[in-house]
Amino acid sequence: MAISMYQASVPVFLRMLTNLKAILAKGAAYAQAKKIDETVLLGARLYPDMFPLTRQVQIACDFARATAARLAGKEPLGIEENEKSFAELSMRVDRSIEYLRTFASSEIDGSEAREIVRPVRGEPKKFTGINYLEQFALPNFFFHVTTAYAILRHNGVELGKNDYIGALD
pLDDT tens digits, one per residue of 48-64? 999 999 999 999 999 99
Q: Is the pLDDT of residue 89 over 80?
A: yes
Provide the 8-state DSSP code for 44: -
- Of 13, 142, 152, 168, nearest to 86 (Cα)? 152
pLDDT at 168: 79
Average pLDDT over residues 95-123: 96
| Residue 35 phi, psi dihedral angles, 5° rounding | 55, 45
What CATH number does the domain located at 10-163 have? 1.20.120.450
pLDDT tens digits, one per residue of 127-142? 999 999 999 999 999 9
Average pLDDT over residues 69-77: 95
57 phi-psi bin (left φ>0, alpha ψ -120 to 50, beta other): alpha
| Residue 78 phi, psi dihedral angles, 5° rounding | -95, 145
The ranges assigned to domains in the chain are 10-163
- Give the mean pLDDT of the chain: 96
pLDDT at 1: 60
CA distances from 19 to 90, 109, 155, 166, 167 (A): 11, 25, 18, 6, 9
Q: Is the pLDDT of residue 10 over 90?
A: yes
Q: Is the pLDDT of residue 169 over 80?
A: no
